[in-house]
């Protein structure tokens, strides 16, 4: 991927699918479809509810959260009031659940949030919270199936455990053959350059903390399991 693709400012690496409706890196598509076919044999309708997201979309999410126009949550998922947070606390609250514009894995087309459409009753309102994917949750079967099968198709969970950065997201899958090289290519200097030229809210505070943010929220992930010999 080139710099524009890495930072979500171009979609030349992206293919749009009709069923399931999503947008992904062209190298990710075949593996997702193969995994869907396999999941269907177990009665699971594995589908993305979020896939490629460009820079401007991620910027809008960030700015609306910074300005208190979208909800903020602590690491345990409890609501927070923006007016009661310092700027530094707001940065951490946003980054616990949403990526920095230019630094989102969704920019690469390798990452997607998945659900089991077959498990959802009519009118169900998706929350995309860990309890939905835990034992007894609506997507518990999906979680178990992914645990047992996703690695065969090249997928892993980058936010499987709490490493002090992004909060655990059992719904978030990453296609390793695309995502690992992308993360290695996205340098701190590239991210700084993109953000300096952007209209990101709280820019001075973000740039001041950028080396820490880059290490804590971008680099600190759960790696895919080693390939078996």
Give domain status of residue 228, yes or no.
Answer: no
CATH of the domain at 21: 3.30.1380.10
Taking residues 48-61, report their average pLDDT: 97
Taking residues 90-102, report their average pLDDT: 95
Q: Considering the chain, what is the average pLDDT of its residues?
A: 96
More confident residue, 75 or 90: 90
**216: DSSP letter:** I
Give domain status of residue 193, yes or no.
Answer: yes
Give domain status of residue 174, yes or no.
Answer: yes
Termini Cα distance of the chain: 29
Give domain status of residue 126, yes or no.
Answer: yes
Q: What is the pLDDT of residue 182?
A: 98
Radius of gyration of the chain from its Cα atoms, rounded to whole angstroms: 17
Pair of tokens at residue 81: 């009031």
Q: How far is CA 42 from the centre of its chain?
A: 25
Distance CA 187, CA 195 (A): 13
Q: What is the pLDDT of residue 77?
A: 82
pLDDT digits (tens, 9 = 90+) for 134-178: 999 999 999 999 999 999 999 999 999 999 999 999 999 999 999
**Percent of the chain surpassing pLDDT 70:** 99
- Give the pLDDT band of residue 228 (cuts 50, 70, 90): low
Flag whether pLDDT at 229 surpasses 80: no
Using CB atoms within 10 A of its CB, is residue 3 exposed (0-12), middle (13-18) or buried (19+)? middle
Give domain status of residue 229, yes or no.
Answer: no
> CA dihedral defined by 32, 38, 44, 50, rounded to 10 degrees?
0
Taking residues 189-202, report their average pLDDT: 97
Give domain status of residue 51, yes or no.
Answer: yes
Closest to 130 measured CA to CA, from 187, 73, 57, 202: 73
Give domain status of residue 196, yes or no.
Answer: yes
Give domain status of residue 88, yes or no.
Answer: yes
Pair of tokens at residue 28: 């990710």
Number of separate domains in the chain: 1
Taking residues 40-53, report their average pLDDT: 97
Helix (H, G, I), strand (E, B) or coil at 13: coil
**Percent of the chain surpassing pLDDT 90:** 94
Flag whether pLDDT at 201 surpasses 80: yes
Residue 55 structural domain: 3-219
């Amino acid at each position: 991927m080139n710099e524009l693709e890495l930072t979500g400012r171009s979609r030349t690496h992206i293919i749009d699918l009709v069923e399931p409706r999503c947008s992904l890196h062209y190298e990710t598509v075949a593996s997702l479809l193969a995994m869907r076919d396999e999941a269907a044999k177990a009665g699971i309708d594995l589908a993305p509810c979020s896939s490629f997201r460009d820079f401007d979309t991620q910027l809008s999410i960030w700015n609306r959260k910074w300005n208190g126009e979208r909800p903020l949550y602590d690491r345990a998922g409890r609501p927070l009031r923006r007016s009661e947070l310092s700027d530094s606390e707001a940065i951490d609250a946003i980054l616990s659940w949403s990526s920095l514009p230019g630094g989102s894995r969704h920019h690469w087309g390798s990452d997607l949030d998945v659900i089991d459409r077959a498990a959802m009753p009519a009118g169900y309102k998706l929350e995309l919270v860990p309890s939905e994917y835990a034992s007894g949750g609506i997507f518990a079967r999906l979680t178990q199936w992914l645990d047992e099968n996703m690695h065969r198709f090249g997928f892993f969970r980058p936010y499987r455990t709490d490493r002090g950065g992004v909060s655990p997201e059992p719904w978030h899958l990453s296609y390793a053959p695309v995502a690992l090289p992308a993360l290695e290519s996205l340098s701190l200097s590239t991210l700084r350059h993109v953000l300096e030229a952007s209209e990101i809210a709280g820019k001075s505070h973000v740039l001041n903390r950028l080396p820490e943010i880059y290490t804590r929220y971008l680099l600190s992930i759960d790696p895919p399991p080693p390939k078996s010999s």
